[in-house]
Structure formats: structure tokens, C-alpha cells
Structure 1
Amino acid sequence: MPQYRKISRYVLAGLFTFAGIVHFLSPEMFVRIVPPYLPAPLLLVYVSGMAEIAGGLGLLVPTTRRMTSWGLILLLVAVFPANVYMLQSYEGRGLLPVWALWLRLPLQVVLVAWAWWIRKE
């Protein structure tokens, strides 16, 4: 395996693990971006946080890496509506600058491609 792919895997694993931990340290921030049509926002924040932590750690285990990569891709697709909702309901929320909210949308595509690329050994 090329060294850059290994380093990239560790970086992505760290990003997902860190993001998942933040779900538990500051859940109110994430609850604010759960679209109102979804039930139990706090539960969804905790479930997605656990999924991100499990996904980040799962990328580090060779036997689970491929399945974990696909799971992270599905997770990124599942949380995309929250990113859209966050942009649509920006006024008064002030969580991020509006340019960063716009940047988050294509960033999801980059993360999906990164997770797909990491799945290979």
C-alpha cells in the first residue's frame, strides 16, 4: 500500500472519530441542524456520533475497512439533508458563516470519494 494512502486513511479516521466525539461534547450544536421533520433529534445526534466514531475506528482495522468505508458513505448520504437544512435555515442560527455552509455541501462529495478511495487495501 502506498504510504500516502495509509496516511490519508489515518487522517480520515481521525476526522470521523473527532467529529463523532464532538457530537457527545456539544450535542446542542448538532440538534439545532436536525431537520424538523425528523423525530428525536438528540437521539439522532448520538446515533450519528456513535456511527462516526465506529467508522473512524473501523477504518483502522484491515478486516473491517471495506465495510466501514461503505458505512461511512451511507452515513454521509444520510446526514446530507442536515447540511442542506442548516444552509436553508441559516438566518438566526449563526453556527457557521454562510460561505462555510455552502462549502459543506461539496465537501460531503469529497468525503464520500475519500471514504470510497480508502476502502481499498
Structure 2
Amino acid sequence: MIPLIALIVSWAVFRLIGLAGGSYFDEWHTSLQAAVAFMLLLTASAHWGAKRKDLVRMVPPSFPKPGRIVTITGYLEIAGAIGIMIPALSLYAAIGLVLLFIAMFPANVYAARHKLTLGGRAVPSLPVRTLLQLIFLAAVVLASSLFN
């Protein structure tokens, strides 16, 4: 839930900044791009922080080298956060992020079915996690240059 809260709150903050002063964030789209980037950087930070062990445990056992997978997906989230902010790369970043979210979904299914924890808290149930994934996918697509 923290990524969803980060996405919503950061979007609102960026919109307020834009509405207050006609800054870079004066459009909903640029505010959403920044919010998606913020959310991705937040989630990527977990790939090397205190939650890393939990993320590694979320990788289904059928996948080899779960630690490497967690590291690579963290780097891809950072690349996506940067790419979504660059107009010439935004569409490609969005496509890559959609594919990344789809590729990471089995870990969410595994974690939900095995009632794993993330940072000491139970991971969301599968229906909740599916809804969150759809929201994140929609945010990434809307933040792409398709809607600019």
C-alpha cells in the first residue's frame, strides 16, 4: 500500500506546486510523470534496503538466482523512473515498465498465496495486489508520452 500512497500523495503535491506557481508541474501529465518516478524510486530503494530479504523470498522458487532478479528489477525501476521523465524516452520507458510489472507479478502471486511479509507486514491479498498492479499499470501508461 505504501507505493500507492506515495503515488497519490506525490501526485497531489506536484499538482499543488504546479497550480500555485505555474512551475514545471502545471500540467496533470507532468505531475503524474513525477509521481510515477517518485513511486518507482521509492520501490527500487527496497531492493537494497531492509526489505531486500523479503523481496528475495517473494521470488518463486522456480526462478533461478532470486537475489540477482531482485537487483535487476531494482535497476529497471530506476531506469523506468528516469525514462518516464524524459519526453523522448517516456513511451519506451512506459512499455518497459508495463512489461516489468507483468514479469514481476508472479512474485506477487507467490507472496500472496504463501502469506509472506514485506517489512514485517503481510503482503496484500491477491485481489488487492491485482487491483494495485492495474492502478500502477494505468499510471505508467497515462504518464507516457501517449497522453502528453
Q: Same fold (TM over 0.5)?
A: yes
1:8 aligns with 2:3: no
- What is the deviation of 1:2? 6.8
Quick one: distance in 1 between partners of 2:82 and 2:35?
Answer: 11
Match of 2:117 in 1: 94
Q: Residue type of the partner of 1:101?
A: S
- Structure 1: how far apart are the matches of 2:117 and 2:84? 33
> Which of 1 and 2 has greater Rg?
2
Residue among 43, 51, 72 paired with 2:68 = 43
Q: Is residue 2:69 matched to residue 1:23? A: no
Give, as a single letter, the amino acid of the residue that structure 1 aligns with 2:38. G
State the distance in 1 between where 2:56 and 2:103 align: 15
> Which stretch has the larger CA shift, 43-52 or 105-114?
105-114
Contact 2:54 2:117 in 1 (8 A): no
**CA–CA distance in 2 between the matches of 1:56 and 1:101?**
26
TM-score, normalised relative to structure 2: 0.74
Unaligned runs of 5+ in 2: 1-24
Q: Distance in 1 between matches of 2:86 and 2:29?
A: 14
Identity, % of aligned positions: 29
- Asked if 2 retains the 8 angstrom alpha-carbon contact of 1:87 and 1:101, the reply is yes
Following TM superposition, by how much is the alpha carbon of 1:24 offset from its aligned partner in structure 2, in angstroms?
A: 1.4
Which of the numbers 81, 84, 93 marks the counterpart of 2:106? 81
User: Which TM-score applies when normalising by structure 1?
Assistant: 0.89
Deviations along 1:69-100, one digit per CA (max 9) or x if unpaired, are: 0000000000000000001111xx333336x2
More displaced, 12-21 or 41-50?
12-21
AA of the residue aligned to 2:100: L
Q: Distance in 2 between matches of 1:70 and 1:2?
A: 25
